[in-house]
Amino acid sequence: MMNRTEFYIVRHGETAANSRNVVQGQNDVPLNETGLAQAARLAERLKAVHFDAVYASDLSRAMRTARIIAPGAAVVPLPELREWNLGDWVGLPFGEVERRYPDEVAALREDRADFQISGGESKRQVYDRVSRCLAELAEREEGRRVLVVTHCGVIRAMLRFALGGVHSFPCVPEVGNTSLSRLICFDGRWQLGTWNDLSHLTMPSAPAGGY
């Protein structure tokens, strides 16, 4: 009988930086009121789901979201689940990033495999960090249901890993705030169960992306 390990993967709720389309990367920006409400709606949706383990990025926006969704759980913080280190972009409105770093923004939109952020991580570095973490969690939590709360860039890297390490997407997939995605591992073989499900929200969400 195959061992089924199920990951419920959630992007954190909205922050003030998300709402203003300001790049936050690994800056520790808290949830805003909308983000708290989004997390509460997802908590209501998932209240009947039992999680055997809960992990989150150690940044406060992810930890807070995880604690709202699973209030009785011991949330394990993992630095490996932090957002992409966006280096010199951090703190800038995305429009200013486009003006200062047009070639890098073009590489981001084209999802180039060799993309390197000025002063930050390359896409390959993010993928390697996240794929190692997800593989380790799948081994550690084999046969269990696991909640993981993290960030847009990390969730996209997880999707690449589950799809066999694809180098790029023809169109970068959307990841909304408090979106629910599911990845399922059967004895080391991965499949996508759900992607970017926002059906628990009745309010407008932050623009998809918004690292």
DSSP H helical ranges for 21-151: 33-45, 60-69, 94-100, 102-110, 123-140
Q: Is 37 annotated as a binding residue?
A: no
Is 150 within any annotated ligand binding site? no
What residue spans of the chain are helical by DSSP H? 16-20, 33-45, 60-69, 94-100, 102-110, 123-140, 152-162
12, 104, 121, 151: the active-site residue: 12
Is 61 known to sit in a ligand binding site? yes
| Residue 17 is labelled as binding a ligand | yes
For residue 18, say whether it is annotated as part of any ligand binding site.
yes
**Token digits of residue 160:** 């690449």
83 is a catalytic site residue: yes
* CA count, 13 A, side-chain hemisphere, 86: 26
Determine if residue 15 is labeled as part of a ligand binding site: yes
Per the annotation, does 32 bind a ligand?
no
Angle at 43 between CA 185 and CA 182, to 5 degrees: 20
Q: Active-site residue among 6, 83, 104, 121?
A: 83
Residues marked active site are found at 12, 83
Positions at the binding site for substrate: 11-18, 61
